[in-house]
A and B are shown apart, each in its own frame.
Chain A
Amino acid sequence: MAKLGRFLRGTRALFRKEQTELELDDELRDYLSRSVEEKVEAGKTHEQALREARLEIGNLDVIKEEVRDQGWESIAESLWRDLRFGVRMLVRNPGFTAVVVLTLALGIGANSAIFSAANAVLLRSYPFQQADRLLFLRQVTASNPGMLISIPNFMDYRRQQTSFQQLTLWRSGSVNLTGGDYPERVVGSFVSDNFFDVLGVKATLGRTFVSGEDQPGAGAVAIVGYRAWVSRFGKDSKLLGRRLTLNNESYTVVGILPVEFSGGWLANSDVYLPAQHSPAYTLDRKDPAMFMLGRLKDGVSRQQAFADLTLIEKRLATDYPDVMTGMHLELTSVPEMEKSESASTPLLIVLAAVMILLLIACLNVATLLLARGSARQQELSVRAALGASRTSLIRQLLIESLLISLSGGMLGLLLAAWLVWSFSDYSTIYDIPHRAALDWKALFFTLSVSVLTGVIAGILPAIRLSKMNPATNFTGSSRIAGHQGHRLRSSFVIAQLALAIVLLVSASMLVKSFWALLAVNAGFTGEKVLSMEYRLPRNKYKSGTEQWNFHRTMVARVGQVPGVVSAAIVQALPLSGNWGELVFTLPGRNVANNGGEQSASLVNLITPDYFNTIGSPILRGRSFSDQDGPDAARVIIVTRSFASKYWPEQNPIGQEIEFTDRGPGIDPANAATHRAAVVGVAADVKQVNLRDADRPLVYFPYSQMPAIFGTLIARAAGDPSALTDSIRHAVWSVDKDQPVWRIRIVAEVFDQQVAPDRLMMSLVCSFGVLAMALGMIGAYGLLSNSVNERRKEIGVRMALGASPKSVLRWLIRQAVRLTVVGIAIGLLGALIATRFMTSFLYGVAPADGFSLILGSVLMSVTALVACYFPARRASRLDPMVTLRCE
C-alpha cells in the first residue's frame, strides 16, 4: 500500500510539476522570511538579517534540486532530460550520427533478415502434435541409406511391435488430375488408413480414412489438402462427395484437411489416396515400396523402441535370409528428417558471419563513441564539476548509445524487410516449407539485438569517459583521454580488423569453392534444351508395350515440331534430383569376391537421340538406335568410369552384365534374369550432385526397359522456351489427358545446383566487404584522432627539427602495429572458424593458404589507406600554428 501511495504521489508530482514547484517556492520563501523575522527580533537590522538568513539557507536552486532528487519521479524526469539531451547531441552532430546509425542499421538489418530465414528453416513448427515422437523407420543396408520398406516387411513389423501406438505407411508421388481444361499434375500422398490418426490430424470437412480403406478392393476415396481445396477448387464445400479423376481412376472426395496441415514433407500434398493406389505398391518383400513411420507410445524411449524393432528384425532375418541380409532399421524423427542438412549448415554459417559483422559494427561504434568522447571531455568535466555523479554520467552516455542503436535498429528493420522481400525467391532453393517473413519473432529479435548492441557499444566508452577528475581536466588539455583511453580504442580497432579478416578469409574460400563448382564439367550442355517431366498412369498404360508405344510416338512427334533440332526421353535428368540405382552381377565373376554384395551402379533410361540432344559425347562404340527394339538383343551403354571400374584392362564393348527384373507388377518368384551387352561407352556425367566424383552409370534403352516416368528433352535451334506450347500440344496429340510439368531449360538445373553456393558466397562476400569498410573507418578514426591529440607534440617535434618524414614514420609504425596484431589474431580466428565450413566447401582445403594471404593483404591495404589521410595531415602541420593554437 505504501508503495502504491508513493507511486501515486510520484505520478501526481510528475503531472503537477508546476504545482509542486510552486509549493516548494512558497515553502522556502516562508522559511526565509521566518528566519529574517527572528533575526530582526534578536535586534539586527532588516538588511543584516536578510543577508545572514540568505547565507544560512544557501543556494535555493541546489536545495530544490536535492528535494526533487528524493522521489522516483525525479529519476524518470532525469531520464527524460538525458533523452532530450541525447537527441540534441545527436542532432547537433549529424555526420557522426549518420555514420554510427547507418553502421548499426547495416549490422542489425542483416541480422534480422538472416534470422528470419533461419527462423523459417531451423525453428519451424510442425503441423501435427509432438513431431519429435513421430519417427521414420528407415530400412538401411551398408551401401544404401534407404528410406523405404517393403509392404510385407511393414506388415510383419506392424503385427509384432509393441513400442509404437501405430505404424503407418506413406509415400508421395505425382498424380494426374484430368477432366479440367487441360491435364494437370498434382502432388499426391499414398497412405495407410491410419495415417491421419498417427499424425493426430482431423479433417476440417468430412472425414479422414477409416479402417480397411487401404485394402485392395476397397472403395476409391480421396482426401483433399487445404491448399489445393482453395487454389484448385475455389474453397467449394460441395467438393465433398464429388468425384475426381486421378490417374485415370475415379475417386470420391470424402474429406478436406485443415489449414494448419500444410507445409513440410508429410503435409504438402494436394490429394491423399489410400496406399494400394500407389504405382509403387507391391507385395514383393524384396521391393522397398513406401516410407514406414509411427508414433512412439507414451513413456517409451527411442532406445526401447529400437531394441523392440531389432528383435523383430532378427526374426525376419531368419525367415527371409535372402532379403534381409545386411539390412537393419534406423529411427529418425520427423524434424530430423525434414531438417535438411543442405539448408541448415549454410544458414548457420551465414548466421555466424552476420553476427561477426554486427560485432564489428558494435566495436566500430564503440570506437567512434570513445573518439568523440575525448572531444566531449570538456563538456563532461563541466558536468562532473557541477555535481553530476559518475552514475549519472554513465547513464547519460548509455542513453545516447541506446538512442543510436535503437535508431539503427529501426532503420535496420527497413533494410531487413527489403532483404527478406528481395531474397524470398531463394526459399525455393532450400525447399523451405515456410517462406521467410518478418514476423513478431523477428521484430522481437531486432529489438533485443538493438538494445544489446547499444549496451555493448556504449558500456565501455561510458565507463571510460566517466572516469576522470574534473579538477585536472579543466585546463582544457588535449590529452585528457590519456594513454589508457587510447589503448582501449586500439584494442577495439585490432578486434575489428581481426574479425574482418575472419570474414574475408571465409569469403575468399567460398568464392574459390564456387569457382571450383562452376568449373566442374557436368558432362552436358543445356542452354538450348527444354525439358519437362511426365508420368504415365499405370492403370491406363498397363503393359510395357503400351508404355513404350507412348514414349516412342510422343518423342517422334516432338522431334517433328518446327524449331526442334532433336528430341529424346531420359528417365532421370542429370542434376534434377531424380536418379536410380541398379543391382547387377558380372557373368563369370564371383559375387563373393565383391565383398559379398552385388555390384550396384547408377542407372538411367534413355531413347536413341539422348546423347546428341543433351550434348554429351559417345566415346566408343555407338548410341542406341531404332534397331534396339523390345525384341532385339538387350543392349546397354556404360559411362567411362563404369567401364574402367569393371573392365579396366579390356575392351568394354561386347561385355555383359546380368540383372533381374524388379518392380511393381512383377512377381518376384518368376522374375526373369537378363543379360545385356555393352554397345557403347559414354562420357561421365554428374547425375546426382555436382560435387560427386564420377560415379559409374549404366544406360538402358526405354524400348527394352519399360517405365512410366520420363523427362522429355528437346534441343531447340533458337530460344527453347518459345517452343513450350508447341511441344506440350505435341504431347497432348498423343494423349490429351497426359499432364507435363517442371518445364524448364536444362541449364537451369545446373544453376539450381550451385544456387545455395552462389547465395552463400555473395552473402559472406558482402559481409566481408562491409567488414573491411568498417575496419577501415575504425582504423582511420583511431589514427586521425591520435594525430589530433598529439598535434602539439608533433608541432614541438617539428619545431625542434623533426622532418615530416619522421612524423610519418611514427604514424605508420602505429598503423603497422595495429595491422600486425590484428592480422595475427584474425588468421588464428579464421583457421578455427573456417573449420566449420568444410562440409560446404568444394575443392578448397580447410586451411587455404591463398585465402589466408589474401585476407591479410586486403587488411594491410585497408590499414594503409586508413593511415594515409591522417598522415598527410600530420606531415602538413605548421608547427607555428599548432603551438599557438593551445
Chain B
Amino acid sequence: MGEKPSLLVQGTLDMLILKTVALEPMHGYGIGLRLEQISGGVFQVNAGSLFPAFRRLEGSGWIKAEWRATENNRRAKYYALTDQGRRKLKSETREWETQTTAIARILAATPGEV
C-alpha cells in the first residue's frame, strides 16, 4: 500500500478532491485523472483511496453526487461541490497556506536568523 499515496500528505486528499470538483463537476475516474494531470504526475491516486474519500466527503455534506448521462450516452456518477464544501475548501486552503508558509520558512532558516 505504501507506494504512491505516500507522496500525499495525510489528510490532503480530501482537500485536493474538493478543489478538483470545485473547477467543475466530475466523475470518479475523471477526478483521479485530473489530480494526476494537474500535479504533473506527482500524485497518482488509486481507486482504493478515491472512493472511500468520496463517501466520506459526501457523508459530511461537502460534495453531492448525481447520475448524469455523458458523451456517447453512458451514465456516470458526477460529484459537485456544495455550498458547505465551498466554505470548507476555502478554510482548508487558508489553513494549508499558513502551514506551508510556516514550514517553508523553517526549512529555509539559516543559523544566523535564529
Contact = CB atoms under 8 A, between A and B. Distances in A.
Interface string B74-113: 1111000000100000000000000000000000000000
A70 B58 CA distance: 10
Interface in A53-72: 56-58, 62-63, 66-71
Contacts of B56: 70
A793 interface: no
B55 A31 contact: no
Interface in A709-748: none
A27 B52 CA distance: 12
A10 interface: yes
A23 interface: yes
Interface residues of B, number: 24
B41 interface: no
Interface in B1-21: none
Contacts of B54: 67
Instruction: Give the interface centre of B27, B29, B30, B74 by most chain A CB atoms within 10 Å.
Output: B29
- Chain A, interface size category, equals 20 to 34
A496 B20 CA distance: 63
Please classify the interface of chain B as helix (H, G, I), strand (E, B), loop, or mixed, using the class held by over half of its residues: helix
B47 A30 contact: no
Given A30-B77, A58-B48, A70 B59 contact: yes
A10 B59 contact: yes
A71 B55 contact: yes
A614 B76 CA distance: 103
Given A6-B59, A66-B52, 4 more contacts: A23-B67, A30-B74, A31-B32, A34-B30
11 contacts: A23-B67, A26-B75, A27-B51, A31-B27, A31-B32, A35-B29, A63-B48, A63-B51, A67-B51, A67-B55, A70-B52
A63 B61 CA distance: 21
B59 A31 contact: no
B28 interface: yes
A28 interface: yes
Contacts of B30: 34
B60 A58 contact: no
Interface majority SS on A: helix, strand, loop or mixed?
helix
A2 interface: yes
B61 A28 contact: no
A402 to B, nearest CB: 28
B51 A30 contact: no
- Which 6 residue pairs across A and B have the least CB separation, nearest first? A34-B29, A70-B55, A66-B52, A31-B29, A57-B47, A70-B56
A285 interface: no
Contacts of A58: 46-48
Contacts of A35: 29
Contacts of B33: 38
Nearest to A59: B48
A2 B48 contact: no
Given A2-B84, A23-B77, A63 B47 contact: yes
Contacts of B84: 2
A17 to B, nearest CB: 14
Interface in A1-28: 2, 5-6, 9-10, 23-24, 26-28
A229 B56 CA distance: 69
B77 A27 contact: yes
Contacts of A68: 55
A27 B26 CA distance: 12
Contact of B52 (A9, A10, A34, A67): A67
Contacts of A31: 27-29, 32, 47
Interface in B42-68: 46-48, 51-52, 54-56, 58-61, 67
Contacts of A38: 33
Contacts of A57: 46-48
A6 B29 contact: no
Given A2-B84, A35-B29, A28 B51 contact: yes
Given A2-B84, A26-B77, A71-B59, A66 B48 contact: yes
**Most chain B Cβ neighbours within 10 Å, of A10, A31, A35:** A31
Nearest to A69: B52
Nearest to B33: A38
Contacts of B29: 30-31, 34-35
